[in-house]
Each structure stands twice: as structure tokens, then as C-alpha cells.
């Protein structure tokens, strides 16, 4: 009952991994599968016949065909449709005896079918019942491809209709192998049609099969010349204005994905406005991320929500030059005082302030107090001081020594050493949890998390800036970084070329500007994550990785025995 034929299968080169989605279609091995079953319920109905065809580059490499004993009666209507009867399949093997051979035949091929979800669903259910790993791999549905490519030429996209209208070499007959052969013919026809939309690789075909009736699918032609290399892409509108900027490790694959599964609300309107897609070839993904950041900050594309985020950045300031320093959130750093930031939002900045104020009793009032400040007679004690969570110098009740100690702890936290503040917050959080005051414990945890995140950002950027000018190599890529700015990038020893968007000016202050933080963090996180694998030469001090200088929140949430 089991039949396999082959044409020179032995000695064929091993199919390349489809993680490399740019595999040219003529190099892809497809396995077209069709099943006959006792009904349409994958959990209760059973397989009665399997047919499969393996093809590559238009050539049939082999076929697989077998009847399967379903272990139950075949309904009369199925017998009428397929010609398969209980008598015909009674001597056939059970599906458990067939699966291993079928899976070996499929191998690492791309699985194809007409309404392939039906066939794959039945096979996966059979694998589950047989306690085998489920059938996996890249899947392409010829129904979806037909709806995208030839729907206007046919009354429907049934396999029989398509085979008849396009005069395929094989005609379906509701028998598994015949239907698989007809589907293979259809696949080749659809691949030829898809070439007109710039579909030349497996990734293109997979995306196209998911488009179905995407209203902007015709604009796929704009992506035909995009390379499968790292870079930055730009969607342009009617007046050639840049609507959106993005980065990609594979430009072609990323841009084409917008026409498929990307269902973000802004994507539809953006694609309707798009008239062209431009790109910049870049040597690596890190450089692409940096250039994307520069372009967004300078061009402010309408569909980049992140394009205006620098305007929302702010700093936490401790005015250490005043008589009684206090914390505040400021838009721009000043020449005096200690600053932490820039931070991505006022929400985060206020959480950092609350974290420090929870741990150390800095004043919370906004009364101006110079060096010669004398509290007025009968000045009231502020509410925070009455609750015992702050000192109150404006009423004359604060001890200068105790206040100086609180200022020192806060200054250390802003400078990247938050140990005193963190220890006190951790103890408070755990005490509140033990007392079952869970909402207060959660609020303390959020403040602690914000503080740890802000300090980590500070240490990352500080480590990059103290390196001064650095030549950083990873694999065959090399980057020239100067005080938080990317100056040049090369790959494979190629001669360096100027980056398409020049770096920002050197920041002359100790505090990084709001416009420079994204690029500096991008570079710093890269260096920190791969610190043990980088080859570095620098004119300053190399402090990566920052390691455990910032405690882990999860570890802090466990009380020591």
C-alpha cells in the first residue's frame, strides 16, 4: 500500500536552513501534501490517504503515496466523493505506522498545500495521538497565493477550478496523490505570476501568501529592489516627504512585512499615503539603529511616534549649591546642581524623585531658602515632616547634620551609586509585603524599579563617555565611537565611508543632552551586552560591562534568610 518514487534523490545537496529567508525560490525544496479523510474534524475524523510530491526548481524529486486504515467506517458520502471504501483501506497500515516515513520524506522542505491548514492540522493531530513531535517548518498555502495573484481571472479558487482554467498538467480527482500533483503544478504557475510583484525569495513568497486581499498589496512592487541587508528604510508620500523611518537587519523582508501581518493602527493609513520606499545600505544592524535614531530626531516623520520623544525627556535635579537642597524634575539641565538623565518621561522622573524621598528625608516644600534664611516666627511644620518622612528646614526644625547626610545619600544615587537608597527601599518594600500592605509594597517596588532603571541608563552612558575615543570590533565589524557618538563603521575590512547622517556635536557638559541620549544608549547597550567578546582600543577608560553595579530587582524582592 505504501509507494515512493524518486528521481536522483541520493546525492542532492542538503537543503539550507530556512532561517535564511532570502533563499532564492529556485533553490527551495517544496513538499506538497494532500490528505483524504473521513470528515472535516481533525480531532475525531481520521486520515484515509496521504499523497506528497517533493519539487525543487520546477523538477519533481520524488513522490509519496499510501492508503491509511482509519480504524473506523468511512462515511458513504466520503466514499462517493473519493472512491475510498472500508474494503479498500482495510489492509492499509494505520497512521502511526506511516508517520515516521512521511516525516522523513518531508525532511526540512517547505510544506505546501491547497488550504494547507486542513492537511497540517490533521497531521499534527495524528502526531499528538502517536506521541510524536508535531510537524513543523515553513508553510505556504496555494489558496492564499491564488487569491492574491489570480482571483480576478477565475470564479473561485478551488483546486479543480484553477486546474481547469489554467490547464494544469495534472487534474485533481479527490485522491491524495493526484491532488498533490495538481497543487504542485499550481505552485509553479503562481510562482511565475508572483515574479511580477518582485517575489524572488522564500521570504517574499511567505509574506505574499499571508496578504490575501490586502488593500495595498499592489504596492509590493515598490520593494522589488530592496536588498536583504542591514539598513534604514523610508516610506515617502505624495510630495516625496518622509512619512516613516525604520531600521532592519533585512531591509527587503522587513518592508514587505508591512503588507502582511503588521496590524498596527497607523500602518494602514501610512501605506495608503506611501508612493515610494527609499533605503540606505549600512554595514550592520547597530549602525542602522544609530542612523534611524538620527533621522527620526532630525526629520520628525509623522508616523514615527518616537519622533517627538526627545521633547518629553527630562532630568531629576538636586540643587546641591543651595543651602537646603531639594529634588525637582526639570526640562533642561542647568549649569549648577547634580542631574540624573535625561529620562524618557516625567512619569519615570517623578518615580525616581519619590524613590529617593521615600528613602531619605529631603524637604519637599518649594520655599526659597538662601544661605541666610531665617524661619519666620511660628512657621508651621510641613505635612511631610509631621508624618516623619521629611525634614522641614523652612520651619527651623531640621538638623543640619542629618539633612547633610540625606543630601549625600541622594547625591550618591544621582551619581550612579544608589546602594543606600536601594537598601532602604528594599527593606520598606519587604516590610510592607510582610504586613500584607500589598498596594503600598507595589508602589514602593515601582519607585525602586524606576530608580534602578534610571541609574542603569546613567552608568551605561557614563561608561561609554569615559572611554572617550574607542575603536570597537566585533566579528568582522568595527565601529569608531567618540564620547557617545558613532563616527564611522566598517565591515570586512572595507574602506570606511562617511555615514549618511553626520553625528551630533560633542556635548560639552557633564550631562548628556536630550537629543543625544538615544544614540548613546544604543551604543552603550551594545557594548555592555557583548563586552566579553569585543576587541577594544580606547583613549580613555573602558568600564564595560557595568555588571552588578545596578542590583537586580527580582533579587531584591527576596528577603535574606
Could you list the pLDDT tens digit for every one of the 561 residues in the chain? 455 443 332 233 333 344 445 688 889 999 999 999 999 898 899 999 999 999 999 899 999 999 999 999 999 999 998 999 999 999 999 999 999 999 999 999 999 999 999 999 999 999 999 988 888 889 999 998 998 888 889 999 999 999 999 999 999 999 999 999 999 999 999 999 888 777 888 888 887 777 655 556 667 778 878 888 999 999 999 999 999 999 999 998 888 888 765 556 678 888 889 999 999 999 999 999 999 999 998 888 988 875 557 788 999 999 988 888 999 999 998 888 999 989 999 999 999 999 999 999 998 887 787 777 777 777 777 877 777 788 888 877 888 899 999 999 999 999 999 999 999 999 999 999 999 999 999 999 999 999 999 999 999 999 999 999 999 999 999 999 998 999 999 988 666 567 888 888 887 777 888 888 999 999 999 999 999 999 999 999 999 999 888 877 776 766 544
Q: Which residues are catalytic?
A: 174
C-alpha closest to that of 484 among 525, 451, 454: 525
| Distance separating alpha carbons of residues 181 and 179, to the nearest angstrom | 5
Res 363: pLDDT: 87
Evaluate whether 455 touches 418 at the Cβ level (below 8 Å): yes
472 alpha-carbon distance from chain centroid: 25
| Distance separating alpha carbons of residues 488 and 476, to the nearest angstrom | 14
Q: pTM for the whole thing?
A: 0.68
All three cell numbers of 498, joined, read 562617511
What separation in angstroms does the CA of 182 have from each of 190, 305, 435? Answer: 12, 48, 71
Cell 513543523 sits on residue: 136
Sheet order of strands, 338-343 included: 327-330, 314-318, 338-343
C-alpha closest to that of 511 among 308, 313, 310, 315: 315
C-alpha closest to that of 129 among 36, 68, 65, 43: 43
| Distance separating alpha carbons of residues 79 and 327, to the nearest angstrom | 82
* Coarse DSSP helix, strand, coil percentages of the chain, rounded to the nearest 5 percent: 40, 20, 40
Res 3: pLDDT: 54
E-state strands within 179-312: 231-236, 242-248, 276-281
Amino acid at each position: 500500500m505504501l509507494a515512493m518514487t524518486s528521481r536522483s534523490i541520493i546525492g542532492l545537496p542538503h537543503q539550507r536552513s530556512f532561517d535564511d529567508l532570502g533563499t532564492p525560490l529556485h533553490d527551495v525544496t517544496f513538499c506538497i501534501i494532500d490528505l483524504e479523510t473521513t470528515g472535516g474534524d481533525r480531532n475525531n475524523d481520521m486520515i484515509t490517504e496521504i499523497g506528497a510530491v517533493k519539487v525543487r526548481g520546477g523538477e519533481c524529486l520524488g513522490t509519496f503515496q499510501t492508503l491509511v486504515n482509519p480504524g473506523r467506517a468511512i462515511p458513504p458520502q466520503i466514499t462517493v466523493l473519493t472512491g475510498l471504501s472500508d474494503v479498500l483501506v482495510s489492509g492499509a497500515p494505520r497512521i502511526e505506522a506511516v508517520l515516521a516515513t512521511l516525516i522523513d520524506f518531508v525532511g526540512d522542505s517547505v510544506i505546501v498545500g491547497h488550504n494547507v491548514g486542513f492537511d497540517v492540522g490533521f497531521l499534527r493531530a495524528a502526531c499528538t495521538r502517536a506521541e510524536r513531535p508535531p510537524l513543523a517548518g515553513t508553510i505556504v498555502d496555494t489558496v492564499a497565493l491564488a487569491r492574491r495573484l489570480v482571483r480576478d481571472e477565475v470564479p473561485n479558487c478551488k483546486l479543480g477550478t484553477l486546474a481547469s482554467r489554467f490547464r494544469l498538467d495534472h487534474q485533481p480527482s479527490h485522491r491524495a496523490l493526484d491532488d498533490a500533483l495538481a497543487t504542485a503544478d499550481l505552485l509553479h504557475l503562481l510562482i511565475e505570476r508572483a515574479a511580477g510583484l518582485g517575489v524572488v525569495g522564500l521570504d517574499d513568497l511567505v509574506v505574499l501568501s499571508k496578504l490575501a486581499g490586502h488593500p495595498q498589496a499592489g504596492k509590493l512592487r515598490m520593494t522589488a529592489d530592496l536588498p536583504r541587508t542591514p539598513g534604514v528604510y523610508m516610506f515617502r508620500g505624495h510630495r516625496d516627504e518622509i512619512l516613516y523611518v525604520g531600521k532592519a537587519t533585512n531591509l527587503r523582508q522587513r518592508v514587505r512585512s508591512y503588507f502582511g501581518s503588521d496590524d498596527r493602527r497607523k500602518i494602514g493609513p501610512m501605506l495608503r499615503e506611501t508612493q515610494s520606499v527609499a533605503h540606505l545600505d549600512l554595514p550592520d544592524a547597530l549602525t542602522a539603529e544609530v542612523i534611524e535614531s538620527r533621522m527620526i530626531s532630525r526629520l520628525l516623520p509623522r508616523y514615527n511616534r518616537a519622533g517627538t520623544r526627545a521633547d518629553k525627556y527630562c532630568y531629576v535635579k538636586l540643587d546641591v549649591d543651595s543651602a537646603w537642597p531639594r529634588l525637582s524634575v526639570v526640562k533642561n539641565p542647568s549649569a549648577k546642581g547634580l542631574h540624573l538623565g535625561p529620562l524618557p518621561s516625567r512619569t519615570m522622573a517623578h518615580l525616581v524623585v519619590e524613590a529617593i524621598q521615600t528613602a531619605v528625608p529631603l524637604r519637599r516644600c518649594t520655599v526659597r531658602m538662601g544661605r541666610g534664611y531665617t524661619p519666620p516666627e511660628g512657621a508651621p511644620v510641613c505635612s511631610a515632616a509631621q508624618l516623619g518622612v521629611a525634614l522641614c528646614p523652612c520651619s527651623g526644625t531640621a538638623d543640619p547634620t542629618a539633612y547633610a547626610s540625606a543630601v549625600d545619600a541622594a547625591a550618591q544615587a544621582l551619581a550612579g551609586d544608589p546602594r543606600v537608597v536601594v537598601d532602604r527601599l528594599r527593606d520598606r518594600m519587604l516590610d510592607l509585603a510582610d504586613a500584607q500592605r500589598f498596594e503600598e509594597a507595589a508602589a514602593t517596588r515601582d519607585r525602586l524599579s524606576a530608580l534602578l532603571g534610571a541609574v542603569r541608563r546613567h552608568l551605561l552612558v557614563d561608561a561609554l563617555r569615559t572611554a572617550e575615543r574607542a575603536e570597537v570590533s566585533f566579528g568582522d565589524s568595527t565601529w569608531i565611537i567618540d564620547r557617545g557618538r558613532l563616527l564611522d563603521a566598517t565591515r570586512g575590512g572595507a574602506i570606511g565611508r562617511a555615514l549618511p547622517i553626520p553625528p551630533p556635536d560633542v556635548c560639552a557638559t557633564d550631562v548628556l543632552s536630550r537629543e543625544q541620549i538615544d544614540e548613546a544608549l544604543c551604543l552603550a547597550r551594545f557594548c555592555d551586552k557583548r563586552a566579553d567578546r569585543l576587541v577594544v582600543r580606547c583613549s580613555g577608560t573602558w568600564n564595560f560591562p557595568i555588571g552588578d553595579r545596578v542590583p537586580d530587582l527580582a533579587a531584591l524582592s527576596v528577603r535574606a534568610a
